[in-house]
Amino acid sequence: MTKVVLMDKSGNLLSAIKGPTGPEHRQLANEVMRQALEQASLQINDISYIVATGYGRLNVPFADRQITELSCHARGVSSLFPNVRTAIDIGGQDAKCMKIANGRLTNFVMNDKCAAGTGRFLEVTAATLGIRLEDMGGISLNATKKIQISNLCTIFAQQEVVALLSHGEKPENILAGLHDALASRVAALVRRLGIEPDLVLTGGVAKNIGMVRAMKESLGCELFVPEEPLLTGALGAAILAKEIYMKAAAEGEALPTKSRRLEKATFFT
């Protein structure tokens, strides 16, 4: 998804918008920003500094700076959970495990080469079972047993789910097994870094209560989840934008001109 967070110089949240990511990154970035500005009753030239992050950060024409999603996630999570030392972000395309100290990223590992261990794994399964993605967690809590899933490759796991259904296995038991398999894969990434509390889980998968429970069981410790786990990266970008602007202004450094941003963001002119 594409997200925008607007923050004032005091750190107050002015607006937060999420939109589905499509192939036209630039157009969507413009549209989501326009919605965020409308929600905050602002214009683009009211914004002092903009940081873009994530896979599509180079396709945000009105950004003043691009910062990696890892740095932004670390900053965003730390603002919500000051004692965080380990953060896990499971999105639709990858799973990131981060070590954090004093709000800064110190080390990380990622799974970005395969859909197994990501939200895409669950999306495919939901489609196979004919259920809504947002219902998966609640359904899995009704399981009476966990069906072991032997394949973590998304394609083969999909075939395995179809076979299990044909043999009369209940969807809730299959889902419990899938959550357990996914959690075990992500937990293995975390152990490569070393588990150190406080642990925080973010990303779209963190909205799945069945997955949160499976992660707690696999890690064997408490796991904190933000109220809106999809926004931590965008929140971190907004915080970094505020810090960069305030530091530059205090030190008398040159700042991007709003007229130049308007030239780049032709959508808003």
What domains can be seen in the chain, in order of their start residue? Answer: 2-71+232-268 (3.30.420.40), 82-225 (3.30.420.40)
DSSP, collapsed to helix, strand or coil, labels residue 4 as: strand
What does the DSSP assignment read for 46-81?
A: G----EE-STTGGG-TT-SEE--HHHHHHHHHHHH-
pTM confidence score = 0.89
Q: Which of 51, 99, 94 has its CA nearest to residue 72?
A: 51
Per-residue pLDDT, 150:
79
Q: Do β-strands 13-19 and 2-7 pair in parallel, antiparallel, or remain unpaired?
A: antiparallel
Per-residue pLDDT, 262:
58
**pLDDT 10s digit of each residue in the chain, 269 long?**
889 999 999 999 999 999 876 666 677 888 899 999 999 999 988 999 999 998 888 888 889 999 999 999 999 999 999 999 999 999 877 889 999 999 899 999 998 656 566 778 888 888 888 899 999 999 999 999 999 887 767 777 788 888 999 999 999 999 999 999 889 989 998 999 999 999 999 999 999 999 999 999 999 999 999 999 999 999 999 999 999 999 998 888 877 766 555 555 555 54
**Which uninterrupted H or E stretch holds 177?**
helix 171-193
Peptide bond into 135 cis (omega under 30): no
- For 28, the token pair is 């969507």
